[in-house]
Amino acid sequence: MHKRTGYIILGRVASFISVLMYVSYIAQIMSNLSGHKGNPVQPFVAAINAMLWVIYGWYAVKRDWPIIIANAPGVVLGIITGITSF
């Protein structure tokens, strides 16, 4: 396998796993809404981290769409998870 091809595959797998990580917040959101509140610190910190990566990807010399797409769900779902934790 060519080195560049391996790099592209690794990037796609990492992006997919990142999206799965953030989508896993849906279970916590549902739990929060049913009265089993979680701690809001981790999801808010994750949302800030994801937001910084989205900004980084957006303002890169050439927009880095895999970074943007992989972290955009983290911004939204992290904020929702944090808010529903109260």
- In single-letter form, the type of residue at position 31 comes to S
**Average pLDDT, integer, range 13-32:** 95
The answer to whether the CB of 58 falls within 8 A of the CB of 68 is yes
pLDDT of 36 over the 80 cut: yes
Q: Read off the pTM.
A: 0.89
Q: Supply the pLDDT for residue 35.
A: 97
Q: What is the CATH number of the domain that holds 13?
A: 1.20.1280
- Angular region, 60: left φ>0, alpha ψ -120 to 50, beta rest: beta
pLDDT of 30 over the 80 cut: yes
Task: Give residue 34's domain range.
Answer: 3-84
Q: Supply the pLDDT for residue 46.
A: 97
Higher pLDDT, 49 or 5: 49
Cβ–Cβ contacts within 10 Å for residue 3, how many? 6
The answer to whether the CB of 79 falls within 8 A of the CB of 29 is no
